Amino acid sequence: GAVVSQHPSWVICKSGTSVKIECRSLDFQATTMFWYRQFPKQSLMLMATSNEGSKATYEQGVEKDKFLINHASLTLSTLTVTSAHPEDSSFYICSAQRRDSYEQYFGPGTRLTVT
Amino acid sequence: AQSVSQHNHHVILSEAASLELGCNYSYGGTVNLFWYVQYPGQHLQLLLKYFSGDPLVKGIKGFEAEFIKSKFSFNLRKPSVQWSDTAEYFCAVGTGGYNKLIFGAGTRLAVHP
């Protein structure tokens, strides 16, 4: 149990376009989902925390108008990278957490390349 | 600011050698502590966790970690590594009501047969 999926697993887009990444908890209800960014050979950096039915909380330095997060249901959160630029190219990872649990289950990640 | 330090960025061992990976954190309040592993091409998986109680915690695949509060440390150990332990290991600290995780830089472990 506790499987988290992400779609797509990789995406290439042109500069100026928007890209949506989905994160789904397949076999449990996730009241909280997290979005991370991982640069090559570096650690994960938390971008934002989202709770079902409420606005996401962004970490310092993360542009909320650029990285739109929606957590519309207990099994789905989406991250939309708006007006993507090459510097947004990265590996984006989501995780999901059950209510009253401190354990996060991670998705496989989405590789975004902006050309 | 809160931070997590992993002392070894790259470790190379032979099979059957013992492993200890260091992790120190800076945070004044209550924390939850985690070690995650990322095998090549796979997603992060939880190795073990500490919330409270016995500071020596055992995880999957023979790994264990010891929380030493006075040293703000949570070192990962395994008495005898296998080639299949080749992976990247991340220490993480969870804080706050939502248990937001702060990750260390990671340690790449390569085990040679």
Average pLDDT over residues A4-9: 96
Return the biggest CA–CA distance within chain B: 44
Whether residue A100 has pLDDT greater than 90: no
Chain A CB contacts of B36 below 8 Å: 106
Nearest CB among B43, B94, B106 relative to A102 is that of: B94
Residue B82, number of CB atoms within 10 A of its CB: 13
Nearest CB among A32, A44, A102 relative to B51 is that of: A102
Give the residue on A whose Cα is nearest the Cα of B1.
A60
Whether residue B97 has pLDDT greater than 80: no
| DSSP E strand boundaries for chain A | 4-7, 10-13, 19-25, 32-38, 44-51, 57-58, 67-73, 76-81, 90-97, 104-106, 110-114
d(CA B95, CA A89): 28
B102/A102 Cβ within 8 A: no
A34/B101 Cβ within 8 A: yes
B100/A109 Cβ within 8 A: no
DSSP bridge partners of A41: none
d(CA B75, CA B45): 17
Distance from CA of B45 to the nearest CA of A (A): 7
Q: Regarding beta strands A110-114 and A10-13, do their DSSP bridges make them parallel or antiparallel, or are they unpaired?
A: parallel
Chain A interface, Cβ < 8 Å to B: 4, 32, 34, 42-46, 49, 51, 93, 95, 97, 102-109
Q: pLDDT digit string (tens) for A8-53?
A: 999 999 999 999 999 999 999 998 999 999 987 788 999 999 988 8
Query: How does DSSP assign A1-21, residue by residue?
Result: ---EEEE-SEEEE-TT--EEE
Q: Which of A8-12, B24-28, B55-59, B94-98 has the lowest mean pLDDT?
A: B94-98
Q: What percent of chain A has pLDDT over 70?
A: 99
Check CB contact of B103 with chain A, cutoff 8 Å: yes
Contact B90, A44 (CB under 8 A): yes
Interface of B with A in 14-53 (CB under 8 A): 32, 36, 42-46, 49, 51
Q: Would you state the pLDDT for residue B7? A: 87
Q: Regarding beta strands A76-81 and B87-95, do their DSSP bridges make them parallel or antiparallel, or are they unpaired?
A: unpaired
Residue B69, number of CB atoms within 10 A of its CB: 9
